Chain A
Amino acid sequence: MRGALVLMLPLVLAGCDSPLSTLTPAGPAARDIAGLWWVMLGGAAVLTLLVLVLLAMAFGPPRQVRARVWTHWLGLGLSFPVLGAMLAAGLWVGERVLPRDDGALQIKVHAVQWFWEFTAPSPDGPVTTRDRLILPAGEPVDLIITSSDVIHSFWVPQLGGKMDAIPGRENRLRLQADAPGRLAGQCAEFCGVGHAVMRFEVEVVEAGDWEEALRDAANDGDAEDD
């Protein structure tokens, strides 16, 4: 597994300056999932190697082999523990990143062909920004995701998984950003000719500065008039 990691090193470096990379997480959910990926990659490398070695060893004189060893011990005995572990790991990480009813900050995300509207609560009333999501650092945020035309998908790869915006539904996604900075997001579900340019920026600010940043955004004219 370490070998696989070393092999992937240049690829990781290549990912460092990518604002949309899932491999440079900037939040706990993305970090958990990236960890899951590295472990699975290592396991996959080992299993691929195992199969290739067994294949290479097959080229030679006939051997006395027992069918049961191959179909039962390797076929069932190897696969069930691996798959069981993956199910457990997946469930564990999945449960960790799930939204909870703990009164976290809620920001509305509305997808339209082909832009994003983010509506955050503030003391001065809800502030709507277009293609620009402002998040407080270090705090869990629930995004309430909707659409009124076609299906889109909200995705900030450095923070966590994606969630579809589907007409007639309200989907909830919990994200948390570690530290102030600029991240990027995009639409991940094909939504017509503007799909490739349906992007938004994510501005993470110190939790204490969040309301201030919202107010600035409202005054900047980034905000919608309505």
Chain B
Amino acid sequence: MTDSTAPGQQVATPADARDDTLAIAPNPPRRALGLHRRLSRVWANDPGWWGHVTAVNHTTLGLRFMGTALVFFLVGGVLAMLIRAQLATHDGAFLDTELYNQIFTMHGSIMMFLFAIPMLEGLAIYLLPKLLGTRDMAFPRLTALGYWCYLFGGLIMLTALLFGVAPRDGWFMYTPLSGATYSPGINADVWLLGVTFVEISALCAAVEITVTILRQRAPGMKLTEMPLFAWYMLGTSVMMLVGFPPLILASVLLEIERAFDWPFFAVARGGDPLLWQHLFWLFGHPEVYIIFLPAAGVLSTLIPVLCRTQIMGYGAIVASVLALVFLSFGLWVHHMFTVGIPHMALAFFSAASLLVAVPTVVQVFAWIGTMWQGRPQLVLPMYHILGFFLTFVMGGLTGVMLAVVPFNWQAHDTAFVTAHLHYVLIGGFVFPMMAAAVWWMPQITGRERVRGLGEAAFWVILIGFHGTFFIMHLTGLLGMPRRIDVYPDNPEWVWLNLTSSIFGFVMTIGFGLFVLDMALQAFMGQKQRRDPWRAPTLDWAMPLPAPPYTFASIPAPQHLDLPAREVITILARGEGLLPGAPRDRRELLTTSLGTARPDHVALLPGNTALPLGLASAIGGFVLLMLAGLYALTLLPLVLVAMLIWRWGRGMVRPVDDAPIEVAPGLSLPLQGWRRRTLGWTGSVCLLVANGTLFASLVFGIGFLALVASEWPGPEARVTSAALPWVAIAALMPVLGALAQRRSDALQRRGGDGSAAAGLGVVANSVAVAALAVLALGHMDDPTQHARDALRGVLAGYVALHALIGAGMAGFAMDQFRRAEITARHAGLLPVWRLWQDYAAVTALVAALLAVGLGMSA
């Protein structure tokens, strides 16, 4: 296929063969203790309990994500035990059906949204800055915001469970069962609003993981030479940017249908329940790979070190990640093989589902090959890795079987699928994560493991797991469907289920031992020496436990190939770039996207309670929506807008800063001088996600127009009198884009662009006003038919974007007035430009679609 030896050697390229223009002279060594004290003062969290509220540091928040995810894992595990207790006998009288339905729905939802995703986010947030040689994630306040959104969303769902009003329609919430008719009450709303709240944290994490990997690698760490974990996380975060928006859209549409009776999924009024399934699985299948890729990244990191060799086939693995990122978006219909789709369409997705196994197989053999070329050490992380191989290979093979259409027709929605997905998720995620926990616990706690208990936990989990789930394949093939609570007429399933239940409790004991082991290590372990695994990566080139600033100086190109334990002292003495914190503020180095040349010095915000405030305001909105007090939701929304403005003000940097000498002879400007700041790259990521959401909406419109049975709907009462207003709403954002360009031109010349920015405010506001006129006087009742509901959504989408555009224009105007925008400092202008251009394009497309949906003459 391609010359794989070349990439394999790239890892080992000696420093002197690197691009010689990137030779960076070392800074003179200083007293490590002095650097450490000052850096710690600048980067540490605030003291006391308030420090927990205001913390934005990635180490703190990464651990907090992982700790909270672990708690949710235990809750989800307890729910699983309730399920197993109920199913242990054929007429389980333990739970009533209603409660049982809530419990299995919450088990799935918690494990997916409140355990797996936050756990991998936490791992990435904790690890990436350390691995890439930088001091924090790109947007520390966003990290904190994500955490609070996750916590609050999770607590809302847990509280609902305590009060018996938890979601009960299965974790994929199929309509019409989850619609207002068949799920009255707030149960389904808890899921839709709670999960969407939590997804804010997923999007925050995806944006900053992408930006951190692309822009904050240590100088000289080319994309093609960065640690494989970063490649995996890059793939994961891009998939999150593209994968989550369809689900967010679906959740928003279903919530609107439930709350305001706009039909999107209701058949009688032009909706189609399959739209939900398409959007859900368009997220749901990539989700599986979003969970698997970080775990595979852990394996690719650990296996070579544990075998005292280098990874085999670096290039092949990167190619596998690339293939998985794309292919995993082409399989979603394999969850819908029984909905009555034509055979050829099923076959496309069957083929894609089979094909996606290829990159996975390549990785598995690259890992085993790595073990062959090295000398594997049978220590505890390796136990978990072997547990991964055994479990995941079997889960992968049943996955391939399920990709075969006729077999899927039989196995779909049975215990066979339950068994398969637990083999994949526990094999492909939990075992690698346990290996990761054992691996990085010394770094987190600075302590050694207590011997013995971890091995026992591993064996108990392994035996418990396979005892539970292996025979569950057979249970499914003997006809037991998912999600039933009793099976009085099927005595032949009893011994199978009883066995699963008994081993399920064994597995639970194992996880209990595992948690106990971690607690013992944290509180009773011996002090850990540095670099316990003799690892080559930068995450070990620091004292243990990891200090809040991670590196006293940023690694230079010549440090990247040295073993971690040699780099520790070099960096601690400030011989790398940007040593210490001489200006008493949080600084880090940004580099170019491909070859990681030093670009500028970014200033990061310090500790702040703003993320908590913003998350609370969003939480207020969610709670009012849940309570059905829709009119009152305007209050928290205004608060959200005000807090976002303050957030933006917090990004404004002084304009009189001189360039900073990061190394002898290498001076770099501050971020304010650059148009392409970290914030700019982050905005691009956000627009990618936003664009996916819009594309999903367009797909939804096309899907309903083509497939739904009740189309075309009743005669539209919209007339051509609406057209002028549509035109205004569509063209005003374009005028906003022109105003932005005028502001840009004036800024470059050092002129005052506040008037031009003001025009941007006006243009966007007029667009909103025109949409209001349309909504009040010219549009059909959106509850009448899906066509009218979709028009309403398009109008709302354009209005929201114009509103935000107006806010950005206003912010830029304010910056011109305060003289924060000068000839060299573009302020918010580049980001406004991205947003306004996007708003203009989507407004035009939305107008065409809205008109194209038809109107009466």
Contacts and interface: CB of A to CB of B under 8 A. Distances in A.
Are chains A and B native binding partners rather than an unrelated pairing? yes
Contacts of B376: 58-59
A2 interface: no
Given A69-B369, A83-B400, A167-B176, A44 B406 contact: no
A204 B648 CA distance: 72
Nearest to A91: B347
A161 B343 CA distance: 14
Interface string B147-174: 0000000000000000000000110001
A175 to B, nearest CB: 11
Interface in B357-410: 357-358, 361-366, 368-369, 371-376, 378, 386, 389-390, 393-394, 397-398, 400-401, 403-410
Contact of B316 (A19, A33, A71, A86): A71
A79 B343 contact: no
B725 interface: no
Interface centre among B182, B350, B358, B404 (most CB of A within 10 A): B404
Contacts of B410: 22, 30, 33, 37, 157, 160-162
Given A67-B369, A72-B1, A195-B484, A172 B340 contact: yes
Contact of B274 (A32, A61, A166): A166
Interface stretch (A104-112, A181-189, A210-218): A181-189
A153 B393 CA distance: 30
A151 B397 CA distance: 29
A126 interface: no
A119 to B, nearest CB: 19
Interface string B525-561: 0000000000000000000000000000000000000
A12 to B, nearest CB: 9
B97 A21 contact: no
B97 A14 contact: no
A215 B210 CA distance: 68
A54 interface: yes
B308 to A, nearest CB: 8
A75 B357 CA distance: 10
A23 B478 CA distance: 7
Contact of B413 (A58, A75, A153): A153
Interface in B1-25: 1, 4-5, 8
B327 to A, nearest CB: 12
B407 A67 contact: no
Interface stretch (B215-223, B486-494, B599-607): B486-494
Interface size class of A (residues with CB under 8 A): 35 or more
B677 to A, nearest CB: 39
Nearest to B181: A149
B101 A67 contact: no
B369 A70 contact: yes
Nearest to B710: A168
A21 B483 CA distance: 17
A94 interface: yes
Given A70-B366, A151-B174, A192-B182, A93 B481 contact: no
Interface in B262-276: 267, 272-274
Interface in B563-615: none
B316 A75 contact: yes
B369 A22 contact: no
Nearest to A14: B492
A52 to B, nearest CB: 7
B361 to A, nearest CB: 4
A219 interface: no
Contacts of B486: 196-197
A18 interface: yes
A59 B484 CA distance: 44
Given A151-B177, A167-B273, A89 B404 contact: yes
Interface in A130-182: 145, 149-151, 153, 155, 157, 160-164, 166-169, 171-172
B478 A71 contact: no
A55 interface: yes
Interface string B453-476: 000000000000000000000100
B400 A86 contact: yes
Contact of B477 (A17, A22, A60, A71): A22
Given A21-B478, A83-B355, A164 B340 contact: yes
A191 to B, nearest CB: 6
A167 B516 CA distance: 50
B5 A67 contact: yes
Interface centre among A90, A93, A95, A195 (most CB of B within 10 A): A90
Nearest to B487: A196
A74 interface: yes
A190 B400 contact: no
Contact of B479 (A11, A64, A157, A160): A157
B478 A70 contact: no
Contacts of A47: 393, 397
B372 A63 contact: yes
A161 B409 contact: yes
Interface centre among A75, A93, A113, A192 (most CB of B within 10 A): A75
A29 B103 CA distance: 35
B759 interface: no
A57 interface: yes
Nearest to B309: A62
Given A75-B362, A83-B400, A161 B338 contact: yes
A76 interface: yes
A39 B364 CA distance: 23
B485 interface: yes
Contacts of A74: 361, 365, 369
Contacts of A55: 368, 371, 386, 389
Q: Which 10 A-B pairs have the closest CB atoms?
A: A161-B409, A20-B479, A70-B369, A168-B267, A75-B362, A171-B340, A58-B371, A90-B404, A196-B484, A71-B316
26 contacts: A11-B474, A15-B478, A18-B479, A47-B397, A64-B373, A65-B372, A67-B4, A71-B362, A71-B365, A75-B363, A75-B364, A83-B400, A90-B403, A91-B347, A94-B405, A95-B343, A151-B176, A157-B410, A161-B338, A161-B406, A161-B410, A166-B273, A166-B339, A186-B481, A188-B414, A193-B98
Given A86-B400, A169-B709, 4 more contacts: A21-B477, A62-B373, A91-B347, A195-B484
